[in-house]
Structure 1
Amino acid sequence: MGLDLLPVEKALLRGKWTVETDNTGPVTVLAKAVIEGRFRDALTSPDARALFHVQSPSLDLPFDQAFQLNSAEQGEDAELVRLTVAVACLHAFVQVNWTGPDLDVQPLEVISFGPGESTTPLTEELLNQNAVSELAQGGEPAYHLTQAAAFLRLAEILLALPYDHCHSSSWWRLRSTLIHQQILDEPVPQPPTLLSSLEPLTALCSNEPDLAGRLILERGLLDHQISHDKSAAELFVQAAKATGLVYELTGALGKRTKFQQNELSQLVLLAESRLPDGDAVVSSNTDGAATATTPADSEPTPSNIPETLALNDDTLLEQTEFTSSSPASAGSLLAHINPSSQPPLHPLDQCILLSMCLNVKNTSPSHGLTNEQMAPYIARVISHPRNWSVHTMALLLRSRLESSRTRTVERSTLQLQALIDQMPTADSTLSERLLYFHSFPLPSKWELERELALRFLGLGVVRSALEIFERLEMWEEVVKCWGSLDRPEKAIEIVRDLLAGRKAEAEEVVSRAKAPTGERQRQIHDTAREAKLWCLLGDLEPQNAVEHYEKAWEVSKEKSGRAMRSLGGYHFARGAFGDAIACLKRAVAINPLLARSWFILGCACMREEQWEDAKNAFARCVAIDEDDAESWNNLASMYLRIGKQDRKAIADNDDDEEDANESKASDADATIKSIPFEHKLLAFRALKQGLRFSYENWRMWSNYMVVAMDVGEIAESARALGRVVEETSAKAGASSVDLEVLDRLVNAVTRAPADPEEAAAAAAAASAAGDATPYPNPNEGHGLLRNVRGLFERTLLPRVTSPRVFGAYGRLLTWQGEWAAALGAYLDGYRCGVAGTMERGETDVARWREAVEEVEDIVDVLRNFGPRVDGEEKAGGKWRLQGRSIVRTFMGRTKEFEDEPEWARLVELSEELTKKDED
């Protein structure tokens, strides 16, 4: 057959039986049972049990070796059976740990054993512990109370087999990966082959918008899990384009409170599903007849949806009441939609909007605008419930948003509790709960309860939070709770009891631990989890931390990334940077997705002057977290260090990890000439990127100013100088201005011809000679003038008074031929200089001699500029009188220095200015 997705595969992907066939063969019956959520029928069928046959009844071997599936039968039907059974295992695991209700089949009921006797009876608990241990990945343990973990492990083994006919197997590998990541302590990297194997599916689904949208959306969710927010945002937008979703965040007049009198513009999300009519899906009714429905109407509003709790506030309305029937942007494609009465959205489009809402949270700063941006997305989905799971996710997101507001925190907590309580109920069918499960990141049952406990902890209800954490056996959070209760010794006791086997972790284990098999329980203790406990003990006992961390590393057979991260952080805090580097390199080799580990490694390498390694570490930081401004700044510093002839430090004030990003611009300027230009350019780009996320960091702006000047980006250097002055002038005053940079800025303007026509002619001549620089050049002459003059007039002069600043401004005005203004700038500089601020009675001779030179300089300025401004608004003809007044006033305030040799120069100058003008 040609390259295509089989109809049964499409039905499995959609989660709905869309196959119009009279075929009642085993594969069809099996697939239909899986789609309808009858996992017991599917997994206990002869086809499934034939796959899960093992020779040893004790299952001592790893799962992938015990079942020997590599020799499985080939062919289209055999592959489809394996794929269908894998989907059944995966969804059974999802049912018991995510969606509910309770599962009616256990892994041991699925596995068939060969003849023989086992020395150790195989129980569901032992099978689950083996599976949990094997699900540890990348040094990160899987959550040890995961139920029916064997189903996920079996699904992964089946999906790892080669498939020549069932091309959707790679899609299901992606789905199993998304689920697997959620049971690990930290996300771990996935092989690049996972995404590359999905490329053929993109072409196969191009003519089916719903499948194309699902595939792109799920790829975005994987990027969301590993914090690749930028690529995730792009994929979410692509998914909306694939399904035809049209949306727009805009404003409309409305009210948010019950007593609001004036209508104000309220943020609203307009959205409309536009799936083509040709994408109708075919489903079978109870009589077996095929019926066609369009995707927009294929999901009727469910009769049983999660309870949406009312706000019941005396001020806030239940939802925004829009009083305008049209949005603010009347020219948009959605101008015909009434904000208060929008059409229902297809559930898949609702999933896309919820995913975009997640990305708004990830790519926005931590302030109120985040909630304001997210709320319209959630409100748009909540307004029209179409699916149980999608509505659950929308309510959960709303609960998170409302947890930070006093008027909504009560509903937030109660809504979260209601969502947890609904999981084991049968208020909706399992097939409905699973229909769109893979299209949004619904948390697992234990994550929901953990979130509720954290909510209690934030409200100060520590005991209630402690009870939940102990029941979930989340010992790190238990330790934090005991710390909040000022009982750290209790936390240490709990961890030591767990490690010694004196405290069992689950109620069924407690009852079994009294039996002789209790020691067997300790022997198969998950090594990854045991290593985590040793790390936790190291955190609690700093005096023995190294011993405990090394024990964790040994117990895990050198696979615990947590152990090396903790040990590396311990050495870094105590200044043992060489040891910290060795440990952190091991940690990032195990799990390279944690930006914090890379950052500390980079700081340690900086201390050891391992510039290349530090550069690589900070580069990985910004690749993982693009918003990390400190890492961008440190990366720029590393570019400026690499390739220098000397090793002079750029940043001398990095006494701790938080200050490692502070570089001194003066040191950088002193050594920057020895750095290759390409490194300077890379540093410039890194700083420019980092400043997007740390706009108020004046130290970064200072570094950016120096580097921009050195790479020829003079306009950017002017902007950076302005930002430094804006942020620091209130405390630093005139010292906030880098006078050397300011002089270079003025020089860059004034070295070009003052006449615009002459400058244009010079630029044309240069262009004819092969110089492609545009005119006006934004970094020189008239192209730079606007920025530099604006820097003086809007930023520098209103904030600082410095003779050199006024002098630089006077030079700029002189170049422009504004003689009166230039003279005024020089006079302002004189008034705030040494001569202009000297008082009677001063005795500092050196300071007085400096002032004498300033008096002579300002008289020279008057002599040069006075005649030029004659006839303008300021009477230039009076320059002699003004100069004589300046000299006499200065001499009158400093009579104490009459015996100094320089006094005669002042007398001579005064006499010269007293002479009348000669005709």
Structure 2
Amino acid sequence: MDANQVSLIEKSLLRGQWDPQISEGASSAVDLAKLVVECRFGDALRSGTAKTIFRRLCEDVDQPFQELLGDSIRGEGDQVEEELSHLTIAVACFHAFIQANWTGPDLDIEPFQILMGEADTSRWTRDGLHAKAIAELAYLGEPAYHLAKVPAFLRFSQILFGLPYQHLESITWWRLRVATVHQQILDEPVALPEDFQSLERLTSTLACEPDLAGRVFLELGLLEHHLSRDKYAGELFVKASRSTGLEYELTGALGKRTKFQQVELSQLVLLAESQLQDSDPSQKEKSIHPEAKNVSPARASQNVPETLALNADTLLEQTEFTSSKPAGSDSLQRLSHIDPSAQPALHPLDQCILLSLCLNVRNTSPLHGLTTEQMAPYVARVISHPRNWSIHTMALLLRSRLESSRTRTVERSTLQLQALIDRMPTSDSSTSERLLYFHSIPLPSRWEMEKELAERFLSLGVVKSALEIFERLEMWEEVVKCYGALEQPEKGIAIVRDLLEGRKEEAEAVISRGKSTSTPRKILQDATREAKFWCLLGDLDPANAAEHYKHAWQLSNETSGRAMRSLGGFYFARGKYPEAITCLKRAVKINPLLTRSWFILGCACMRVEDWEAAKDAFSRCVSIDEEDGESWNNLASMYLRIGTNTAPKSDEESSSISQADDRSTDSGRPDAPSVVVPFENKMLAFRALKQGLRYSYDNWRMWYNYMIVAMDVGELQESCRALGRIVEQTGDKVGSLAVDEDVLDRLVDAVTRAPADPEEAAAVASQDASAGFAAQNPNEGHGLFRNVLGLFERTLLPRLSSPRIFRAYARLQTWQSKWEEVIKAYLDAYRCSFAGTIEKGETDTAKWREAVTEVEEIVDILRNFGPRVEGYKWRLQGRSIVRTFTGRTRDFEDEPEWVRLTQLQEDLRKEDD
């Protein structure tokens, strides 16, 4: 077969649109490919080619599917055509599975019908085929969802895509797609068997066209998003937009959001324009014409899910823009011509990219209101022009999620989600349209959407409605939670025990088998799923939890990561750290993508003082979830311990958890080891804390650790900033105890070491490079002065009163030769001291003697700085201080120090004379 024709067929399969340049009827493989592109999966899977591929499956039920399919396709003939036939049948199976579980409408073929053929199929049953596929789809100890429809189709496609292909470039792309879907039917994300980054090389060959290049980056990004690697996903989404030429900008335009709004305010709007041309002319007819402003998007295109109206008494259905130009349009080069209220329709692929960029906004922003406000314009831009059933469904689903937390929109949010679920099995649009952009959006499966609806009911307090959905979906963990919310935990335990003992038949299994068979449930239940039930029972029965987890581990043939995670957490909560480490190491070896397992493993290693292992565990935590502030903090703590011979034990570790689910960070500074920590480790700790504070900005404990480490490595400007943050967060509760006064004194010392005259400081720095007093040095001298002064005047002095704080401020003012401010600061310090606050009736002689020293010190300060302030009567101030102090403490007249006070008062009187 001609290489160009093969390439065109591969592109048609990838796009889901048949290329008219392909010569039809050239071979059976070409005709088969056209059937698959047109989504006639039943015809393709009943073809002679499919029968040849699946012939061994019809004859044997005992061998794994992998061996049966591998043997059946070793034929002879045209190798290119054979590979193309295998690829086409794999795509047919794969998309049939997606149609049955994601896009709808209902499928007109099932795997059992394929295996019937002309052979004797008496050994096959629908239940047996289903159970075998579900068991083989379990991966790395994570079970596949047992109620997924036609799972054998997904398993068949996996095996066929996994065969060796020598002549087809697109096979890696299809492996990416099947891996992404496989991830979504597992309980937890798992590590992938291969790296798909090599797919980017296709952009110079197979995917050299803009739309295909955009799809490559978009699909890679969606997989990274599913695995919670959102930073990489965001980069790939941006690459996708550049590939298609999509131009977009989030800006503002004057408009109204409520019905009674009188004043026009700036509203967020996403301006976007496509460069791609529609290859399918019918797509253009589905978009809404910009001038048709009064036409509802849901009614303008009848083959997309209905966009429910808000029907609110205050909010408008959509933002009403009153300006034809965006705010600051002078700065916009290419998008300033777009009218925010009448934007052009976007290419469907660009709509997919916008929805994915919207996901990235959610994943890389803090959880606050601005995130919702940022996401809404992305979604609104897509909803305004329905182009495709699946894309519009995804946009409405995202809007439903955004509106679920707002009282004025929560009703529409729930009703919209229910409407989307109801429309899935209908035939309001063609299968080909629904599948056209399926791989370019994160559309959840049917059961995931129903689960989301149940969780929405649960959040609204409608527990029984949620329970009904969870029971129908046979999501028993959620069922148990519902019974817990209904204060009926015993019912949850009874359900799990009945499932394990075979007394409870799961609904789908009963329906599919009917009354004609008495096959025990336990024969059909795969070991991975049964192990999960034992783990669930362990969660519900703490007294025997360890035995249940161990049984689950043995039952799964030592493949259940859930069993080891649970057992490790069980041991950790009871202080059995060596046993916890053993279990958790097994768990992370099976599934290394779960941060919680790595975190508890790190904490357990900390308890046994295995600093290296703890460092490695926390490093894995932050590599999986960059926004895990606690792990960054603990990683810094490990850097400060590694390389030392001994380390003192503290009452509290830098981060500890009393139970498997709890995370807390130590309230004190990181304990310094008994020997010197290498400077490189200190810098690594500093960088780790700096990174962690980006995501735990309100954690004052982390700021405290950061302040100490920053001071230790010479980053005094950062230490100053950290001290300010600590006071802002804790000053109202603990007062002056919020200030580490040693750190404050060191900051002032770092400033006052330099000459007060900037020109003199610069001259000293030019003569001695090690002096470092030049104004541009941010960590001492004039470079640090502004930060320290701001710390005092904006943060410390308005909030706190402490003698040491005022004295430190006085030293800073002394450096600036502001003598009046110096005297005022020292007097403020005296008034806060014991001498300034002593009351009549004090009986503590030791404290009184200390107070006498304080009185003498303030008088000496007045003698020193008073004459430097013109017109300041410092002697009168000094006599007043001594007279007031002696008047309050006459009970101590018999003490020897009393003579010093009277002599001090006499000296001040003589000096005045």
| Same fold? TM cut 0.5 | yes
Instruction: Quote the residue 1:327 is aligned against.
Output: 326
Does 348-357 or 567-576 show the bigger shift?
567-576
Out of 177-186 and 758-767, give the one that drifted further.
Answer: 758-767
Contact 1:687–1:700 (Cα < 8 Å) also in 2: yes
Letter in 2 for 1:685: R
Q: 1:514: Cα distance to partner?
A: 5.2
Decide which of 187, 197, 218 is 1:185's aligned counterpart: 187
Give the equivalent residue in structure 1 for 2:599: 599
In the TM superposition, residue 187 of structure 1 has moved relative to its aligned partner by 0.5
- In the TM superposition, what whole-angstrom CA distance separates every residue of 1:729-783 from its partner, at most 9, and x where no partner exists? 112111111110011101111112222112112222344x8x9997521001010
**Number of the residue aligned with 1:543:** 543
Equivalence for 1:475: 476
> How many angstroms apart in 1 are the aligned matches of 2:369 and 2:578?
42
- Preserved CA contact (<8 Å) 2:127 2:512: no
Cα RMSD of the aligned pairs, angstroms, is 2.4
Query: Could you tell me which residue of structure 2 aligns to residue 454 of structure 1?
Result: 455
Counterpart of 2:816? Answer: 816
**Separation in 1, partners of 2:685, 2:5:** 49
8 A contact 2:814–2:822 mirrored in 1: yes
In the alignment, what sits opposite 1:691?
A: 693
How far apart in 2 are the matches of 1:706 and 1:373? 36
1:751 is matched with: 753
Asked if the contact 1:888/1:910 (under 8 Å) is kept, the reply is yes
Output the CA distance in 1 between the equivalents of 2:644 and 2:581. 23
Give the counterpart letter for 1:60 in structure 2. Answer: D
Matching residue of 1:724 = 726
Q: Quick check: 1:631–1:661 contact (8 Å CA) kept in 2?
A: no
Matched-pair contact (CA < 8 Å) for 1:57–1:122: no
Instruction: Give the structure 1 partner of residue 878 of structure 2.
Output: 883
Return the offset for 1:197: 3.4
Question: Which residue pairs with 1:338 in the alignment?
Answer: 339
* Partner residue in 1 for 2:39: 37
Partner AA of 1:880 in structure 2? R
Match of 1:54, SS? helix
Task: Identify the residue that residue 59 of structure 1 maps to in structure 2.
Answer: 61
Structure 2: how far apart are the matches of 1:88 and 1:773? 73
Deviations 1:637-670 (A, max 9, x none): 11112223422135626462577643354563x5
Distance verdict in 2 for CA 1:183–1:655, change over 3 Å: closer
- Describe the superposition over 1:364-395 as per-residue Cα deviations: whole angstroms up to 9, x where unpaired: 22232222121111111100000010001111
SS of structure 1 residue aligned to 2:252: strand
Deviations 1:456-499 (CA, angstroms, capped at 9, x unpaired): 22222222222221211111111122222222222222212211
Change over 3 Å in CA distance of 1:574–1:561 after alignment to 2 = same
Per-residue CA distance 1:174-205 (angstroms, 9 max, x = gap): 000111011000010113x4314313213225
Correspondent of 1:663 among 645, 661, 666: 666
Whole-angstrom distance in 2 between the partners of 1:4 and 1:622: 47
Q: Does 1:71 align with 2:74?
A: yes
- Asked if the contact 2:762–2:775 (Cα under 8 Å) also holds between the matched residues in 1, the reply is yes
Counterpart for residue 318 of structure 1: 317
User: Deviation of residue 917 (structure 1)?
Assistant: 6.6
The equivalent of 1:906 in structure 2 is 901
**SS of the residue aligned with 1:425?**
coil
How far apart, in 2, do the equivalents of 1:912 and 1:614 lie?
66
Size of the aligned set, in residue pairs, is 893
Q: Following superposition of structure 1 onto structure 2, how do residues 752-831 of structure 1 map, counting pairs within 5 Å? A: 752-767=754-769, 776-831=776-831
Match of 1:306 in 2: 305
Q: Could you tell me whether the CA contact under 8 Å between 1:217 and 1:235 is conserved in 2?
A: yes
Moved more, 377-386 or 407-416: 407-416
Is the aligned partner of 1:348 residue 2:343? no
Match for residue 359 of structure 2? Answer: 358
Partners of 2:692 and 2:215 in 1: how far apart? 34
CA distance 1:786–1:11, change in 2 (3 Å): same
Letter in 1 for 2:886: M
Deviation at 1:673, TM superposition (A): 6.4
Equivalents in 2 of 1:479, 1:732: separation in Å?
43
- Which residue matches 1:290? none
1:237 alignment counterpart: 238
Match of 2:559, SS?
coil
Letter in structure 1 aligned against 2:61:
L
AA paired with 1:596? R
- Cα distance in 2 for partners of 1:410, 1:721 equals 46
Contact 1:188–1:592 (CA<8 Å) still a contact in 2?
A: yes
> Which residue of the partner structure matches residue 585 of structure 1?
585
Q: Report whether the alignment pairs 1:523 with 2:544.
A: no
Whichever residue aligns with residue 91 of structure 2, its letter is V
CA contact (8 A) 2:761 2:774 kept: no
Q: What residue in structure 2 maps to residue 156 of structure 1?
A: 158
Structure 1: distance between partners of 2:436 and 2:674: 60
What residue identity is the alignment partner of 2:909?
T
Is 1:663–1:703's contact at 8 Å kept on the other side of the alignment? no
Alignment of 1:434-445 (within 5 A): 434-445=435-446
Distance change (3 Å), C-alpha of 1:661 and 1:470: closer
Aligned equivalent of 1:108: 112
Kept in 1: contact 2:202–2:208 (CA 8 A): no
Q: What code does the residue aligned with 1:84 have?
A: T
Fraction of identical pairs, as percent:
64
Report the 3-state secondary structure (helix = DSSP H, G, I; strand = E; otherwise coil) of the residue aligned with 1:274.
coil
Segments of structure 2 that go 5 or more residues without pairing to the other structure are 289-299
Give the CA deviation at 1:297: 8.4
Give, in angstroms, the shift of residue 248 of structure 1: 1.1
Report the residue type matching 1:689 in the other structure: Q
1:718 deviates by: 0.5
- Is the alpha carbon distance of 1:672 and 1:759 closer, same or farther for their aligned partners in structure 2, counting shifts above 3 Å? farther
Say which is worse superposed, 522-531 or 178-187, in terms of deviation: 522-531
Distance 1:851 1:507 in 2: 84
Amino acid at match of 1:394: A
The CA distance in 2 between the partners of 1:452 and 1:772, in whole Å, is 63
Distance of aligned partners of 1:555 and 1:513 in 2 relative to their CA distance in 1, 3 Å threshold: farther
Matched residue type, 1:316: L
3-state SS, counterpart of residue 321 of structure 1: strand
Q: Using structure 1 for the length normalisation, give the TM-score.
A: 0.93
**Aligned-pair CA distance for 1:68:** 2.1
Q: Residue 134 of structure 1 aligns with which residue?
A: 136
Distance in 2 between residues matched to 1:112 and 1:879, nearest whole Å? 109
Instruction: Tell me which moved more, 389-398 or 446-455.
Output: 446-455
Residue 155 of structure 1 and its aligned partner are, at CA, apart by 0.9
Q: What letter is aligned with 2:807? A: G
Aligned to 2:707: 705
User: What is the rounded CA distance, in whole Å, between the counterparts of 2:118 and 2:106 in structure 1?
Assistant: 30
Aligned counterparts of 2:142 and 2:792: Cα–Cα separation in 1: 56
* Whole-Å separation in 1 of the counterparts to 2:206 and 2:692: 39
- Aligned-pair CA distance for 1:679: 1.2
Q: Given the alignment of the two structures, is residue 427 of structure 1 paired with residue 428 of structure 2, yes or no?
A: yes
Q: Which residue of 2 aligns with 1:502?
A: 503
For 1:718 and 1:3, the matched residues in 2 are separated by 66
